[in-house]
Amino acid sequence: MAARYELSKTSGGQFLFNLIAANNQKILTSEQYKTKASAKNGIKSCQSNAAKDERYERRTASNGKPYFVLTAANKQVIGRSQMYASKQTMENGIKACKRVGPSAEVKDLT
């Protein structure tokens, strides 16, 4: 299966999307949005920012695990990655996001 964005609705009635790699690994999870239209705009923002290295903030969680955050030009958070075992595996996650994020299809699960 190809890489894709999966748009879904939470149990609380909000919307979010996940960027899923071709191997079904979750690369990025968005913030929650109140409307479906806002979530779709979030996907468009992810598509337009994913290839730009300067949009990635490399962070370390309180448990010491690395993760990344993808931001828009206005510094708003678009989405966050999972926690990684090492900085190298986090960098591989960023590379995957850069590679598939701009062109992944959108699958609406709502």
Q: Taking a C-beta distance cutoff of 8 angstroms, is the pair 17, 6 a contact?
A: yes
> What's the pLDDT at 8?
98
pLDDT tens sequence across 20-69: 999 999 999 999 999 999 999 999 999 999 999 999 999 999 999 999 99
Return d(Cα 103, Cα 19) in angstroms, integer.
11
The pair of structure tokens assigned to 37 is 């239209």
Q: What is the mean pLDDT of the chain?
A: 96
Q: Among candidates 1, 6, 10, which has minimal Cα distance to 18?
A: 6
pLDDT tens, 73-84?
Answer: 999 999 999 999
Q: Which helix (H) or strand (E) holds 7?
A: strand 4-9
CATH architecture of 4-108: Roll (2.30)
**pLDDT at position 13:** 96
Domain ranges for the chain: 4-108
Distance CA 84, CA 98 (A): 17
